[in-house]
Chain A
Amino acid sequence: MTDTPLLDLSGLTKAYPGVIANEDVSLRIAPGEVHALLGENGAGKSTLVKMIYGLVKPDAGQMQMFGAPFAPSEPRAARAAGVGMVFQHFSLFEALTVAENIALGMENAPKLSALSQRIRDVSDTYGLPLAPDRTVGDLSAGERQRVEIIRCLLQDPKLLIMDEPTSVLTPQEVEILFKTLRKLSAEGTAILYISHKLEEIRTLCDSATILRLGKVVGHCVPRETSARDMAEMMVGKLLQTPTRAGKTPGDVVLSLQSLSAKSPSAFGMPLRDISVDVRGGEVLGIGGVAGNGQDELLAALSGETLSAPGMISFRGRDIGLLGPTPRRAMGILSAPEERLGHAAAPDMSLTENAMLTAAMREKLDTGGMLNWNKARGFAQKVIDAFDVRTPGPGNAARSLSGGNLQKFVIGREVLQRPDLFVVNQPTWGVDASAAAAIRQALLDLAEGGAAIIVISQDLDELMEISDRFAALNEGRLSDPRPAEGLTVEEIGLMMGGAHGMEVAHV
């Protein structure tokens, strides 16, 4: 009887124009099993779970739940069948309260007062403290994830899908999440756990299915498989880790003195009293959970938001009141996290996007008149130097894949020879080989004497390339410490620990 799997997928295929997202994917999950779905960005993990959750219909293949055919036409049907999903990008409503958010995810939501009580009960049981009447916009990323998890748990799911759940958590919070998940699994709830972090999977999961380019390339038992073997299956080839020669840091390039700034967006995080010096040739890695001031810090450095005099100086010159253009002229370049719409204009060609930030330093205009030929040349140069896969510079930014556009965005700035380069999430959503290339480019830039600030939520990345490490928490920056020799424990504490959850979770 245990032979009937909870969920049995066979031969699932889903194609989008130009890409086959999933091809003949099969996997089985038993009740209470924690099953990892492992793969690089773009391997087809998200499409697969969207099919299970009823957001996408497969072109071919069958799904069965407890031996009966299962073909949810919409999320509602999937939820009714006992599938719960915690999204990577939260499906939450910022202006609504926790209880309202949870009610929206339930089929037969009770009255809000009764619901609030149930929320408290569940959050006590599973050690996930949450106040039902708080507005979601004011919650931290970890708390928001709890909202999603509790929303699922209230429906008594048989299968819980977690899409990259740890990318928004501190190491301490990850521990707590894993305890919750183990408890659920012990109670018989199966968990489909999506991740590309191998160590995590080895700690938590009972079995793993590995996807590459939309196809299943292997199954394994993570505890018995080395991270290296899994990585090889996932990526298909062995990757080189970035290399750099040792060097001595140069003069102080950037100096922040008690930098404080309000956030331009309604639910943003203000910067609070940030002080740090960055030297030439040095890579400062800034970690932290999303939403703790990363965007705001980049905006304050790029000149998108101005700050009071005396807070930011570049090579000894006060630049707080200068906008992006004069800062670029001085050699301060940056690449924001959001590629489409912030770092690049989606509907504009790569040539136009090259003009966007390179007009000043590459002299693409004279007296306000734009030189499109020269801009095209520069865009082509970026495409060549960074191996951007596109038919040519005339193509729209949105037509590029995430990884290729990221290479273009980073390359566009790197080729302008910055003295200070600030980048937020340089390899987010980028496949492994492109990520390695981008990291190498950053290290080469530092090698050449530039100061680099890398803001990232990927701690492995930061440990790999940073000289010094600091963490953003609630808009404050911890004291930077040499990256070498930092333990995960220490990093976690710098990131703010478990955000007040230790007490609740004994």
Chain B
Amino acid sequence: MDLSAINPILFVAGFLVAATPLIFAALGELVVEKSGTLNLGVEGMMITGAICGFATAVETGSPLLGFAAAAVGGALLSLLFAFLTQIALANQVASGLALTLFGLGLSALLGQSYVGIKPPRLPDINFGPLADIPVIGPILFTHDIILYLGVALVAGVWATLKFTRAGLILRAVGESHDAAHALGYKVVRIRTLAIMFGGACAGLGGAYISLIRVPQWTEGMTAGVGWIALALVVFASWKPWRLLLGAYLFGGITQLQLNLQGAGVAIPVEYLAMSPYLITIIVLVILSRDKSAAPACLGRTFHASS
């Protein structure tokens, strides 16, 4: 084994990339959950976004169009969830599972002819001399625009939730849909919009995996990232900046175990590959004691019966 084969600068730059799909997916889910809805279909929306983005990028040659298509694909799929839970008042857990099972199948179907193709590459942003700063340059200034968009989105969601009226209304709906309804807010409409935002974010996260991180298309390639994103929202206590921190933590672990696999550590590959999932469980255990931050109406069905 040769730990010196791990270049710390490439490692850090790598885990920023590994964390980005998680940031998108988890941030979208955070907004959805803040509105009082639990969408367990993140994995399904991610993988759908992954193939929509991949196919579009390959067909048009434009990765950015691919990302746009991924967001649209994720949002469209999430509309199914919105229909089931907001209109047909179906159980949110079951509907989320349905979304994931359906998304996995749909993506496999759409992706049949894209296996083994290389997608067009999204160029890194040219920061000029900034990229030449030792250590910091290659870590911070050698990435594509979507990665920066992810961080900006965290800031945007944070500010929106904290400072704007729209954010206040969203939180209010998640705290008490009955009270919000009594004040005249359109609970179903607000939640549907939040769900679509979550779908678009998950789609972007999925496309980041298929277009940048891997980059190619294989069936089921999100491999549980959507579920880890759900855990991350709990980890973050529904706070955007903590979510960013958590995503980097998970990204770091994923990257580390990949690097260790590459470095030929004496631990068998399978056990290294288990580690992100096991660590997710451990984190959940540690953080599950404090549920007070959860939106009070999370997972409850709303029907205006008056």
Q: Are B184 and A90 in contact (CB under 8 A)?
A: no
A241 at the interface (CB under 8 A from B): no
Q: Mark B164-178, 1 if CB is under 8 A from A, else 0.
A: 010011011001101
- Smallest Cβ-Cβ distance to A54: which chain B residue: B184
Partner of A75 from B183, B295, B296 at Cβ < 8 Å? B183
Would you mind naming 11 contact pairs between A and B with Cβ atoms under 8 Å apart? Answer: A50-B306, A90-B179, A92-B179, A94-B175, A95-B171, A95-B175, A95-B296, A96-B171, A100-B172, A104-B183, A266-B292
Partner of B168 from A55, A90, A104 at Cβ < 8 Å? A104
Query: Quick one: which of A96, A104, A105 has the most chain B CB within 10 A?
Result: A104
B182 at the interface (CB under 8 A from A): yes
> 8 more A-B contacts (CB under 8 A) besides A92-B179, A96-B171?
A56-B306, A75-B184, A94-B176, A94-B296, A96-B168, A96-B172, A103-B165, A104-B185
Partner of B183 from A50, A105, A266 at Cβ < 8 Å? A105
- Smallest Cβ-Cβ distance to A104: which chain B residue: B172
Give the chain A neighbours of B175 by CB distance below 8 A.
93-96
Q: Mark B102-114, 1 if CB is under 8 A from A, else 0.
A: 0000000000000
Distance of B274 from chain A, by nearest CB (Å): 35
Distance of A91 from chain B, by nearest CB (Å): 4
Give the chain B neighbours of A56 by CB distance below 8 A.
306
Give the chain B neighbours of A79 by CB distance below 8 A.
184
* Distance between Cα atoms of A75 and B172 in the complex (Å): 16
* Distance between Cα atoms of A87 and B181 in the complex (Å): 12
* Distance between Cα atoms of A74 and B168 in the complex (Å): 20
Partner of A91 from B183, B292, B295, B296 at Cβ < 8 Å? B183
A55-B306, A75-B183, A103-B165 as given contacts; A91 in contact with B172, CB under 8 Å: no
Q: Are A100 and B182 in contact (CB under 8 A)?
A: no
Q: Are B179 and A91 in contact (CB under 8 A)?
A: yes
* Distance between Cα atoms of A105 and B168 in the complex (Å): 11
* Distance between Cα atoms of A104 and B175 in the complex (Å): 12
How many residues of chain A have a CB within 8 Å of chain B?
22
In residues 203-244 of chain B, which contact A (Cβ within 8 Å)? Answer: none
Give the chain B neighbours of A100 by CB distance below 8 A.
168, 172
Q: Mark A92-124, 1 if CB is under 8 A from B, else 0.
A: 111110001001110001000000000000000
* Distance between Cα atoms of A477 and B165 in the complex (Å): 42
- Chain A interface secondary structure, helix, strand, loop or mixed? loop
Give the chain A neighbours of B179 by CB distance below 8 A.
90-93
Interface residues on B, range: 10 to 19
* Distance between Cα atoms of A75 and B165 in the complex (Å): 18
A481 at the interface (CB under 8 A from B): no
* Distance between Cα atoms of A104 and B187 in the complex (Å): 13
Query: Quick one: which of B179, B292, B296 has the most chain A CB within 10 A?
Result: B179
User: Which chain B residues have a beta carbon within 8 Å of chain A's beta carbons?
Assistant: 165, 168-169, 171-172, 175-176, 178-180, 182-185, 292, 295-296, 306
A197 at the interface (CB under 8 A from B): no
A179 at the interface (CB under 8 A from B): no
* Distance between Cα atoms of A123 and B61 in the complex (Å): 63
Give the chain A neighbours of B306 by CB distance below 8 A.
50, 55-56
- Smallest Cβ-Cβ distance to A72: which chain B residue: B184
Q: Are A93 and B184 in contact (CB under 8 A)?
A: no
A272 at the interface (CB under 8 A from B): no
Give the chain B neighbours of A74 by CB distance below 8 A.
184
- Smallest Cβ-Cβ distance to A100: which chain B residue: B168
* Distance between Cα atoms of A105 and B181 in the complex (Å): 11
A327 at the interface (CB under 8 A from B): no
- Smallest Cβ-Cβ distance to A76: which chain B residue: B184
- Smallest Cβ-Cβ distance to A87: which chain B residue: B182
- Smallest Cβ-Cβ distance to A105: which chain B residue: B183
Distance of B161 from chain A, by nearest CB (Å): 12
Give the chain B neighbours of A75 by CB distance below 8 A.
182-184
In residues 69-85 of chain A, which contact B (Cβ within 8 Å)? Answer: 74-76, 79
A90-B179, A95-B175 as given contacts; A104 in contact with B296, CB under 8 Å: no
Across the A-B interface, give the 7 residue pairs with the lowest CB-CB distance, nearest first: A75-B184, A91-B182, A91-B179, A93-B175, A76-B184, A74-B184, A95-B175
Distance of A18 from chain B, by nearest CB (Å): 14
Give the chain A neighbours of B168 by CB distance below 8 A.
96, 100, 103-104
* Distance between Cα atoms of A231 and B142 in the complex (Å): 80
Q: Are B182 and A104 in contact (CB under 8 A)?
A: no
Distance of B36 from chain A, by nearest CB (Å): 11
Distance of B76 from chain A, by nearest CB (Å): 29
* Distance between Cα atoms of A87 and B295 in the complex (Å): 22
Give the chain A neighbours of B169 by CB distance below 8 A.
104
Q: Are A91 and B178 in contact (CB under 8 A)?
A: yes
* Distance between Cα atoms of A150 and B178 in the complex (Å): 20
* Distance between Cα atoms of A94 and B292 in the complex (Å): 11
Q: Are A55 and B182 in contact (CB under 8 A)?
A: yes
Give the chain B neighbours of A91 by CB distance below 8 A.
176, 178-179, 182-183
Distance of A16 from chain B, by nearest CB (Å): 10
- Smallest Cβ-Cβ distance to B176: which chain A residue: A93
* Distance between Cα atoms of A105 and B184 in the complex (Å): 9
* Distance between Cα atoms of A90 and B306 in the complex (Å): 16
Distance of A350 from chain B, by nearest CB (Å): 22
Give the chain A neighbours of B184 by CB distance below 8 A.
54-55, 74-76, 79
Give the chain B neighbours of A96 by CB distance below 8 A.
168, 171-172, 175
* Distance between Cα atoms of A56 and B305 in the complex (Å): 10
- Smallest Cβ-Cβ distance to A90: which chain B residue: B179
* Distance between Cα atoms of A297 and B125 in the complex (Å): 63
A54-B184, A55-B182, A87-B182 as given contacts; A92 in contact with B165, CB under 8 Å: no
* Distance between Cα atoms of A100 and B175 in the complex (Å): 12
